Structure 1
Amino acid sequence: MANTPEKSTASASDLRRMCRRSHAAVLATTAIGHKQVGDGWPVASMVVPAIDIDGAPILLISELADHTRHLKADARLSLLFSGSDNPSNATSQIQTDTARLILFGRAIADTSAAVRNRYLLAHPDAAQYADFADFGFYRVDVEAAYWVGGFGKQRRLTGKQFLIDDCDALKEGHDQIINHMNADHLDAIADIVAHETDHANDLGWKMISIDCDGMVLGTDLPESPNIRIEFPHPVHAPTDAQQILVEMCKKSRDLKA
């Protein structure tokens, strides 16, 4: 597996990847009608976001939850992602045991099929309750990001710097890319797994999803969890994704030769 060089600070891609690898986040909202504290108090809760193709968090939350009522009155929120959430996938200097990222934004209710599908690709078990009448999807309009990587390491970005704002073509072509790779290029996926990870490449890996920063692969074996493979640089369109996948496959096969 290729080694990742150490960095002294975090790029926007690094921070999006940190979010994508996190299993959960802490959501901070402003209390409205809370049973225990007065209006205006900061209230923290745990949520399980999915991250959209461009890096925006997607939430699936219940109307019965305090934080949902708060967001309906005041859409502003903060989301805290911890670097210790998935240490086995941490990148040195960027995602450490003490690293944390705060996203500031506004929760916007979104009933589109694209947002629903994106969330369920990341969390398929949520399909059991996603269509309950009291549950709804919210996409977070990110306005700012603040990363702390440890003592003396920090970075502040605007929402426009954090998100990829020109990947509509990738969103529209997502399913076509997945179908094409799984129908015609399973051998290429296996070669990339062999080169980029420590996982066995003969487990029948298929592409589950793709985004501007990388792809998620899975197998039909219940004991084999999904894995994420990062791209060396962001992609914005299906043609970019095709080119980078060809390059990754060629590199893996050149090293095998």
Structure 2
Amino acid sequence: MSESTASATSLRHLMRAANHATLATIAIGHKQVEDGWPVTSMVVPAIYIDGTPLLLISELADHTRHILADDRVSLLFTPPPTLADGAAMIETDTARLTVFGRAVRDDAPAIRACYLRANPEAAQYADFADFGFYRVAVDAAYWVGGFGKQRRLPDDKLTLPDCQALIDGHDDIVAHMNADHLDALCDIVGHFSNADPNTGWKMHAIDCDGMVLTAKTGNPDMLRIDFPAPIRTPGDARDILVEMCKKSRA
């Protein structure tokens, strides 16, 4: 990702590809440091349909108690490390994105559903009394792509506005694709990824930047395919999927 291509879309792609993030909070009542001290911890986020980071955190954790007293947070996203000979390697010239925002408790069904689609194993503890869902209302973002490569995004430019129609229509889009267009999904997989298209792919989720698929057989991991351009509505989703299907069959 070069500086010239560090668009809001590409930065959302970076967030969606990350399998964890570093959360920074402001210490309040911490047992080891005085109030106001910056404290970091690792979290497993999900990225909402419009690009908003989501968290599922426990009130027993220091970071949650900090947020309840002062909701200002930062989240650091980095791409998953590359693997060489079975060992993880982290390069010093790796792109990273810091998101500044306010963590707001939000147990809306759509927020919960999105988080659990991305992290299904979290269903084991999501209903514990001390756990709650939070969305990070973005104030700003700062991207570093290596030495001399950086970009600052003000306010909420990182998230895509006017996505409510896509949020409301999410389940219907997924149901329709899985009921009527499994052949199209398999063709898209074959053209836009290196995965085997013949393993019974189904749509698992869709967002403003792409879709997540799962296979009936073979590799159990989720497969993400990004769209060539952002979408905001079910109509946009239909148009871009038709376009991608035509290209895969050309």
Q: Distance in 1 between matches of 2:236 and 2:164?
A: 13
1:9 matched to which residue of 2? 5
Deviation at 1:23, TM superposition (A): 0.2
Deviation at 1:124, TM superposition (A): 0.4
Q: Distance in 1 between matches of 2:59 and 2:65?
A: 7
Report percent identity of matched pairs.
Answer: 63
1:39 matched to which residue of 2? 35
Deviation at 1:143, TM superposition (A): 0.4
1:208-223 to 2 correspondences below 5 Å: 208-221=204-217, 223=219
Name the SS for the 1:221 alignment partner: coil
Q: Which of 121, 125, 134 is 2:130 aligned to? A: 134
Deviation at 1:54, TM superposition (A): 0.4
2:145 matched to which residue of 1? 149
1:124 matched to which residue of 2? 120
Q: For the Cα contact (< 8 Å) 1:182–1:207, is it kept in 2?
A: yes
Distance 1:97 1:215, change over 3 A: farther
Distance 1:96 1:253, change over 3 A: farther
Deviation at 1:152, TM superposition (A): 1.2
Runs of 4 or more above 6 Å deviation? none
More deviation, 140-149/213-222: 213-222
Q: Which of 68, 71, 84 is 1:72 aligned to? A: 68
Name the SS for the 2:198 alignment partner: coil
1:14 partner amino acid: S
Q: Which of 227, 230, 245 is 1:234 aligned to? A: 230
Q: CA RMSD in A?
A: 1.7
2:171 partner amino acid: D
TM-score normalised to the size of structure 2? 0.94
Q: Distance in 2 between matches of 1:193 and 1:237?
A: 22
1:123 partner amino acid: N
- Does 1:179 find its partner at 2:179? no
Q: Distance in 1 between matches of 2:10 and 2:122?
A: 27
Q: For the Cα contact (< 8 Å) 1:28–1:78, is it kept in 2?
A: yes
TM-score normalised to the size of structure 1? 0.91
After superposition, the C-alpha distances for 1:77-115 in whole angstroms (9 at most, x for unaligned) are 0000013x2548xxxxxx995111000000000011110
Q: Distance in 1 between matches of 2:215 and 2:177?
A: 14
Gaps spanning 5+ residues in structure 2: where? 84-90
